[in-house]
């Protein structure tokens, strides 16, 4: 039986990681909520594909479960829940972010550059690609996802886009875990995915309550609750 070519696997993972990063920058510069949700779903699909590719080339079947959970939970279930929230509250776009869309995209690009600078200090020169080294070059993308997700949480006023920022941040942690350590232990994976699902459900309820109380999803309006 012919073994998979690690060089092909490395190119495939690099391509998918680049697409993940492009989608993250697009999400940071886009204001339509449903479009951002679908961008997140596509990004999660690519992350699941990266995990499955690493599992295939390294004969690591334990990575297929995180890939399947990512595809099902963050690629299908969570986006559907968020789209239902958007349909229920009737607000389709982010109108007043703290920083406008063009500048947000530019700052996301700057955070990407920062991610590559930070990751460079962790990179070690390696020879020819091997199954064990697949995904190691995606650390910069993982750091960039974390930074841009954190930026989205700060910059956006709508609760749904803040949730997407939190989920994007978690995607960065997932990519770092998959690429560097080939996944957390199973119990940790299950706990993280369960926490993500519960967090999205709770935040969905919170968004609905904010909408009922203030006729808006702008979380800055919660300042009015201070006595």
pLDDT by 10s per residue, the chain, length 227: 444 666 787 888 889 999 999 999 988 887 788 888 899 999 999 999 998 888 888 777 878 888 888 888 888 888 888 888 788 777 666 656 677 777 888 888 899 999 888 888 776 655 555 555 666 778 889 999 989 988 888 887 777 777 888 888 888 888 888 777 765 555 445 555 555 666 666 666 555 555 555 455 555 554 554 54
Map residue 59 onto helix, strand or coil. Answer: coil
111, part of any domain: yes
Please give the torsion angle defined by the CA atoms of residues 38, 42, 43 and 49, in that order, rounded to the nearest 10 degrees.
Answer: 160
- ∠ Cα 81 100 44 (to 5°): 35
Question: How much is the pLDDT for 112?
Answer: 92
> Residue 140 and residue 137: Cα distance in Å, rounded?
7
Token pair, residue 21, equals 């990063």
Question: How much is the pLDDT for 150?
Answer: 87
1, part of any domain: no
50, part of any domain: yes
Question: How much is the pLDDT for 39?
Answer: 92
> Is 0.85 surpassed by the pTM of this model?
no
213, part of any domain: yes
55, part of any domain: yes
227, part of any domain: no
Name, in order, each residue with C-beta under 8 angstroms of 96's C-beta and a sequence gap of 6 or more.
Answer: 157, 218
Q: Which residue range is the domain that position 191 belongs to? A: 6-90+97-221
Is residue 201 within 8 Å of residue 81, measured between CB atoms? yes
> Residue 189 and residue 186: Cα distance in Å, rounded?
5
Question: How much is the pLDDT for 135?
Answer: 67
Question: How much is the pLDDT for 10?
Answer: 83
Report the domain count for the chain.
1
Question: How much is the pLDDT for 187?
Answer: 47
124, part of any domain: yes
Question: How much is the pLDDT for 49?
Answer: 92
Token pair, residue 6, equals 């690690």
17, part of any domain: yes
> Residue 189 and residue 56: Cα distance in Å, rounded?
19
Question: How much is the pLDDT for 16?
Answer: 92
Is residue 84 within 8 Å of residue 205, measured between CB atoms? no
């Amino acid at each position: 039986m012919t073994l998979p070519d690690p060089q092909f696997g490395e190119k495939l993972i690099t391509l998918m990681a680049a697409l993940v990063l492009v989608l993250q920058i697009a999400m940071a510069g886009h204001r339509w909520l449903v479009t951002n949700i679908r961008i997140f779903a596509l990004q999660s699909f690519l992350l699941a594909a990266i995990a499955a590719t690493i599992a295939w080339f390294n004969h690591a079947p334990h990575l297929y479960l995180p890939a399947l959970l990512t595809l099902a939970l963050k690629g299908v279930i969570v986006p559907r829940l968020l789209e239902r929230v958007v349909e229920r509250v009737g607000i389709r776009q982010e109108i007043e972010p703290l920083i406008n869309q063009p500048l947000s995209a530019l700052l996301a690009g700057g955070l990407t550059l920062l991610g590559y600078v930070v990751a460079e200090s962790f990179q070690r020169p390696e020879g020819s690609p091997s199954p064990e080294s697949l995904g190691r070059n995606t650390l910069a993308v993982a750091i960039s996802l974390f930074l841009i997700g954190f930026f989205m949480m700060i910059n956006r006023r709508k609760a749904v886009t803040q949730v997407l920022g939190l989920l994007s941040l978690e995607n960065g942690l997932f990519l770092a875990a998959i690429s560097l350590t080939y996944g957390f232990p199973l119990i940790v994976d299950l706990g993280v995915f369960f926490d993500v699902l519960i967090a999205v459900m709770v935040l969905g309820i919170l968004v609905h309550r904010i909408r009922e109380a203030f006729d808006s999803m702008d979380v800055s309006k919660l300042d009015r609750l201070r006595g």
